[in-house]
Structures are given as C-alpha cells and as structure tokens.
Structure 1
C-alpha cells in the first residue's frame, strides 16, 4: 500500500524515539478530556454514553493511520451532536430503543465516512468551501443556542418531552414553574459549569473538564447525590464492542443520507480550517483531499464498532499541542488508555452526575458562539452580517439539519449574487498616480471625451450578460456621445456562449451602429481571447479592436479622434 495513502504507517516506520515521552504525556492528558466529553457528546447526539468512548477509540485509530496531520485530534463533537440527534431520533422507535439508535448512528457514521472518502479520492476538497465564514458564524451561533436550550433540563435535573428550540424552551419554563427542578442536580451542574468557565479563563493550561469530573464524582460519592434525585451515569459495559455491520431498513436511508451529507460538509469544513490553523504554526501545508480521506477513515472505523460521526476538535487539538504532542502517536496513546478503562475499570465513572455532563456540553456550546465575529461583520460588511443572521435564524427556526441546508444555500447564493451583479465602474486618469482608477474612489479623475473606459469585475456568463449589455447601452447614451467604449477586460476571466451571443448582438445593435459607437477591448486574458476566436466573434467585432493594454487602446483612440484628457463632468465631480 502506498505510503501517501496511509501516512500514519509511514510515520510509524520512521518514528523518532525522542518524541515518545512527549506523545505519551500528551496522550494521557488527552484521555482525561476525551472520556467525559465523549460521553457527554454521545448523549447530546441522543445515544448511550458508552458509544462516545467507542467512537473516541476508533476514530483516533482511523485518523492516526490515514490522516495527514501530525497532531490533529478527532472525536465526538458538540457541533455534530444536534445534527446526529436530528437525524437519528426521528427514526428511532416510539419506545426509544437504544440498540436501534446505536445502529442508526453507526450507519450514519459509515455514510459520512463513505462520502468523505469518495470526496477525497475524487479530489473534491472544494466541498469544504461550501459554507462561507459569515454563514458558518451564524450557523454556529444558532447551534450554540440550540445546544444550550436542549441541555438546560438535564442541568436542572429533569427532562422535557419536546422537539424544536421553542418547544423545548416552553417545556423547560413550564417544568421549572411546576417545581420540577432538583436542587442538588442544579447545584452540581451549575457549580461545574462555573468552575469550567472560570478555569478556562484564568488557568487555561489546567484541564478544566477533568477537574470538574473528578470533583463531581467525589461530591456524588460523599454527599450521596444519587439518593437526592440526581441522575448518575452508572456502570459502563465492560469490554470492547465487536465488529458490527449496523442493520437499517430501506425507509431509513433517505433521512440518513441527508443527515450524512450535512454532517460531511460541516465536518470537512471544520477539519480543514482547524488543520490549516495548526499547520500554519509549524510551516506545514494542508492537503484538503488527504484530510477528507483521513476523516473518512475515522468515521468508517467508528461506524464499524458502534460509533457515530466525528469531526476535528480545535480545543482538544490545542490541549494535545500544549501537552507536547509531536505525532499521531498521541492519538494512539489516547485510544489505548480509553480501551484500558473499558477493560479494567468500567465502574470508574459510575458516580459521574448527568448534570455535570450537561455542564460540559453547555461550556462547549458557549465556545461555538462567536459574538465578536458577528459584531465585526456588522461593523465591516452589512451584507455578510445579514447572511450570518439568516443562517442563525435558519437553525433556530427550522432546526439543525434544515439550518445547515440554509447555510449552504446562503453561501452558494451569495457567490451567485456577486457573479450576477458584480462590481462595475468607469475608469479615469488621476494626475500623479500611475494607471487608471475607479471614478467612484476618485470623483475628480480626468475623463477622455468620447471614450468611456468601462471595467466589469467578473466573468461574463448567462446570469450577468444582460447586466453587461445594459451598462454598455447606458454608456452609449452618455454625454458627450462616445465614439468608442473601451472595456478594461483584465478582470473578465471567462465568456460563455450566452455572453458571446450577447456580445455579437451588441456589436450588431442598430442603435449603437446609428450612433457610430464601437466596442473596444483591452487587456483581455489569452484564454478568454481564444474563446472569442472559437466563438467566431471577430467576424462581427473588428479584430483591430482588441488591444494588449489600456494605454495602447487609449493611444489609438486619441490618435484617431484627437481627444485630450479633461476634467470630470460637473454633475459627477460635485
């Protein structure tokens, strides 16, 4: 097997012995974080807590062998939990059979892994760019609020039978008003949340989650919280799960595929962005296609052993890096340590209070929200701020899975909007500044009478061909009447057949001919010019009207018309 396909094997073959002590320590530190978070995020996904540990083990192994990053840490993730729950829970039988839920979660992981693998093999790394940063910020803000509201009942010691953010919020308020709160549960959960947030802020190098888990287990044992109405995790099953092909029905497939597609997009976007951020610190390069294969392998491995879909965790990767991780051996150590806990000490976490797991999830949800980023968008670009808010509303109003569809649609729609209505302007000459410049930025720029210089900042294709045509016709009506309209074509990277027909019709336009207006192109890229020749446009557009530079085109016009640069029209300059 080629080393490029299994980079982890190649790494182990040349593993530097001096890295082992650091990787061992980092792996043990990572285990302390992975165990409680894995269990908490499993319950967030609507699955038994033990599956979070199975998932953590197998995804660490899968990525260690197939992932290209040296220190990236994969595992159950708070951003995926609600998406998994939104996919699995509607398919679970009315009695909430946990075995069926596990099978559906595993099938979802296998589908997610297959999609990621196919995307990586097909070199479709651009899929991770389907969600723009503004829409991702809005989506994550909505997700953070959804997770927070969903975990409040567990924090207060009861449960709410409701679906959807608003229904859950109303149900939560009704239960609190009805006196359902368990004081001991609220005390241990709220106290744990405060400690996590305080330690993360004041002493970020201390594993806050581990501290709270240890304190909570101690408090549960000493104070008898189980007898005070506080739900505890209870003993975990001993041993390791067998290789299992999940059983699903044909009717399950459509929703599972839809969920897997959304999870794949979010997971890949998160993985590649996190990998890029950490690689930049060490001067490494990120290969998006290899990252897809790595995360695909991790999901397939988890799915075959009763796990559920995973993603990269920036916080866990940061912990591993701070602890001295050098290679993916850190992940192997973490997987081994969790396995030993399951085999030798499954009762270690039996007294862990469920409200503590809720506190862990809520703390993670708060880290998903990016309020400063939202404020920055409002300050810098209102259009992208609106996109962010729309994605937020999509998640809050429609739900997690429709929300990711809204986010992707908004991102793609924004790209199309920019191509449909691109920036366009007229250029002029500014004394003392070389070149030709946007008259919107320089209202007093000099113009060339009878020859507007028009710049269209996009490829010309079917969606914006009419916009281009209308602007050319508007310039033809300007005063003084132009003899030439020079198109500064350097930003035009493509011309499709619809646009070619438009240019042919425009050059043959009777109104333009009557006015004696010629369309002239300058600085057209060679690939675009070859397409112009291929479309046989030079049969209607004079081949002499294609100039290599703006200076050449302007010099030709001035020679022909004897025109001189002059001040901008008074109504524009004022």
Structure 2
C-alpha cells in the first residue's frame, strides 16, 4: 500500500509520514505564500479576463491536488502570468464577448490541459521537461512579459484603446494619451511607489499586498470610485461548488492545440522551478509524477470554477524563503486563501483596477530576464537570435501562437544539432597524449598518409548525407590521396539502416580510390551489432582504439615498404 502511494501519490505518502518538527516552519511558509497568492491571484484573474474570486478559487483546490500527487516539497501551483496570457489569447476569440461562454470555454481548456498532462504521464513523457531549451523559454517569457506590460497601460490610464492586437491597441493608446484619467493614473503611480518602497524598506513583506491595501484605502477614504476610478466591486464570499464541465465539440478543434501548448509550456516552466528548489534542498523530483500532478491540479481547477494553473515561481520562492519544508506549506496556504474567500472578501470591493494593473506591470517586469539573454548571447549568438525570435513570436502573434513558434524553434534547433553534428579531423599535439582536433590546435599534425575522422553524433537517416559529404571532402582536401581513413566510432552512439548503407557506399567509393576505411572504438559493440543484423561492409577493419588503429596501419605500411625493398635488392 505504501509503495503504491509513493508511486501514484508521493505527496500524500509524505504527508502520512509527517514530522511534528516541520509544523512550525510549514505554518509560517503557508501564511507567507497566501499573502502573496491573494493579490497575485486577483491580478492574474484580471489578466486572464475573470472576476477576482475566480483567481482565488484557482489558488485553493489546485494547491491541494498538487500537495497530494506532486513530488516537489516546495513547489506552489496557481495562476501564472504565461498561463493566463495563453488562456486569454485562446478563449477570448471563441467567446466573442459572452461572459458565460468565456467561463465555460476556460473550464474546458483547463480540463483538456489536465487530461493531456495525465496522458503524458502514462506515456512517460516527463522527458518533455527538457524539450524547450533555456534560450527559447527565456525568450517566450520575455515576450509574455512585454505583452502583459503593454496590456496593462489601458488599466492605469483608463483609456479604452481600440485594436484587436496588443500592438495596435498600444499604438492607439499612445496617440490618445491626452485622454488619460488623472485620478486613475495617480492611483497606479501610488501603487508603483508603494511596491518600490516596500521592496527596499520591507523586503520580507509582500509588496503587492501593500499596494492593493493602500490603493483600496485611498479609494475608501477619498471616495475615488465616485470620481470615475474603476474598482473590483462586490466579490462574492464563499467557496465554489463542483461543476460538470461540458465539452463543446465546436470549440475542440481550437482548444485541443491550445491545451497541448499550455501543457507543454506549463510543465516545462514548472519543472525548471521545481528542479532548482529540489537541488537547493537536496532531493529529487520525478518529472512523470509531476506531469500527472499538474494534470490533476488543472482538472480540479476546472471542476471548481477555476482556470488552468502552473508552477508559480514567486510563490515557490516565498515558500522556500519562509522555511517551508514539506507539501503541508501548500495546504496551509490553500486553507488561508479559503478563509479569506469565506470571511474577508468585503474589503476587496474597494481595490482599484489601476492598482491591479500596476501589480501586473511589476510582475511582467520581473519576468524580463535580460541578464540571462546577455549570457546566452556571449555563449552562442545563434541561441540568442532564437531567444529573440521566441520573444517576437509572442509579441507579434500572441501567446497561443507564440507557443507554436517556441515549439517550431525547438524542433528546428534539435534538427540542426542532430542533422549537422560537429565533424573534426584529428591529429597529434606535441606534449599532449591522445588525438586532438586540428581546428583547435595550430600545432597539431595529422599522421602521415592518414585521415582520422570524428563524427560527433549518431549516424542515422537525417544526417547520413552530411556524414558522407564531410568524409569525402576530408579525403579530397588531403595533400595527395591518403592511404587510409580512420573513423573514430566512440562518439557514434547509434547507427540505423541508412547509416549502415552509407558506410558501405563510402567504403566502396574509397576502396575504388585505393583508400582503406578503418574503424576505431566500440569494436565488440559494432561486431555484435553487425552480426545480429547480418550486415558486414567489405573492407572495414575494426580496431579497439585510435592509437591501435594508427599503430597497425603504420606497421602495415612499414611491412609493405620492407617487402618492396626486398624485391629491389
């Protein structure tokens, strides 16, 4: 029973073995997480196009689901900037301004996302955690950040900008800046000031809480809502009931791809967060189990009037900084948010929308990671360009299409790396043992009459042509025809049928020119593989190491020279 729990519900298994010593730190961490989750949940609900209570619903039950099924002790799930941007981008065109349809379609999207995540767990697709490279993910999140910041300008100026696209709306807003509503702008500027001051003077205090509380107090005391400052209005008290999510067949064609993209991006970013905190605290997380846990959290959110959720890095960081040790911290946070929903929603009516816009602008700016982008550019300019393309895809095409751009970029990068592995010609360097690339060592010299060829990747159907072209070019570039080509097989981790036929074709072509093709490394593995598959290209002699191959060829050359001398004498 215990083994089954660890396999299917690792969080619950850990909670059943809970230590009393962890209770105090988990209580403090849970309350700290709730203090951040409440304002952020309300702000992200606004970003996704929901009423504030929906954002709070999404901070309660998904937390409980992950605490039961997840493997990370610190990870906190909830509304996330990227997730909310994708929801708005995917659902708004389908709902066409109908609030009820918007809520129903969002629940359907969360349910589909959850189902896809659970199916991915059974297909053992946890390896997808590494699918989106760091540059692509950074670029995607930078694009989301820019979109969020631009999207909040209308809230902090109260200009009803026109335009279906965020760039069009931003241009229209800039043209109409003279229509800015001064009290609304002052509230937003005050919220910015409170968050900046709080970050410097009270770093342990949630800045968003201070900004929303201060702005709400200003509205209440000064009657700013009567001056045209838009507020949240009445927020219904109580917890949501369970609802049956109806799948709309007409919307499935649009929602399934969006759900797939949402599952991929949510899971990838979530695993980056959970792995970093697991490494810091000295334990491992299981990607496959966490895929299922993310799916369970989204299904539960859909059934309880919430929307799609993901790993929340800021709230996870808060849980860790406050000393949270186990999944119980997330349960404490969920209970705290639930208590606010039941008994403390009345003051939320005075929270101005402009303050929420300011909170989202600060959240968006915190997502911008120019420092990492600069590091990427120093390491590899191509990767930096790919990161910028991912950013551009989100800003120009929107969050949903931006996911597609990120996936296509990831596939193209993978194909480029796999289809064009690095090719090196090796030689000796004085004072250094072994063989080294001629291109990296000016003093390296190739053994006389030999080409030592290294292909740094598997030899399979999509790179076999590159292998053939590079090897034949290496023999043509040699001053005078080489006597032999030694193929370093250690980096060649896999060979498919196309690769074998390519080897045979190259061997035959070289033999016609009087050049032998010799293999070095993986001798036993290659021999067994070829015997198993009944394939043995003529003329390819195998040696255990490069050194052995060079020595054997040198000895054969000496024997041949001696035989010629004997004939002459």
Q: Give the TM-score, by structure 2 length.
A: 0.94
Alignment of 1:49-128 (within 5 A): 49-93=52-96, 96-128=97-129
Alignment of 1:125-524 (within 5 A): 125-177=126-178, 179=179, 181-200=180-199, 203-477=202-476, 478-509=478-509, 512-524=510-522
2: distance between equivalents of 1:271 and 1:405?
Answer: 19
For the 8 Å contact 1:216–1:352, the answer to whether it is kept is: yes
1: distance between equivalents of 2:28 and 2:466?
Answer: 62
Partner of 2:553: 557
| Helix, strand or coil at the partner of 2:450 | coil
Verify: 1:23 aligned to 2:22, yes or no.
no
TM-fit CA distance, 1:173: 1.6
2: distance between equivalents of 1:399 and 1:532?
Answer: 51
| Helix, strand or coil at the partner of 1:508 | helix
TM-fit CA distance, 1:148: 0.6
* Pair 1:200–1:263, CA change in 2 (3 A): farther
* Pair 1:553–1:335, CA change in 2 (3 A): same
2: distance between equivalents of 1:271 and 1:228?
Answer: 42
Higher mean alpha-carbon deviation, 375-384 vs 300-309, is at 375-384
2: distance between equivalents of 1:159 and 1:333?
Answer: 40
TM-fit CA distance, 1:273: 0.8
TM-fit CA distance, 1:471: 2.1
Extract unaligned runs of 5+ from structure 2. Answer: 560-569
TM-fit CA distance, 1:474: 2.1
2: distance between equivalents of 1:383 and 1:265?
Answer: 23
Residue deviations 1:275-331, cap 9 Å, x none? 111011111012111111211111111110111111111111111222222222222
Q: Give the TM-score, by structure 1 length.
A: 0.93
| Helix, strand or coil at the partner of 2:60 | helix
Residue deviations 1:48-89, cap 9 Å, x none? 221101111111111111111112111001111110001110
* Pair 1:356–1:528, CA change in 2 (3 A): farther
For the 8 Å contact 1:494–1:528, the answer to whether it is kept is: no
Q: Over the residues paired in the alignment, what is the CA RMSD in angstroms?
A: 1.7
| Helix, strand or coil at the partner of 1:482 | coil
Could you list the structure 1 runs, at least 4 aligned residues long, displaced by more than 6 angstroms after superposition.
Answer: none
For the 8 Å contact 1:451–1:483, the answer to whether it is kept is: yes
2: distance between equivalents of 1:109 and 1:382?
Answer: 37
Please, which of 21, 33, 37 is the counterpart of residue 36 of structure 2? 33
| Helix, strand or coil at the partner of 2:433 | strand
Residue deviations 1:412-468, cap 9 Å, x none? 211110111111111111111111001111122122111111111111111211121
For the 8 Å contact 1:493–1:528, the answer to whether it is kept is: no
For the 8 Å contact 2:26–2:325, the answer to whether it is kept is: yes
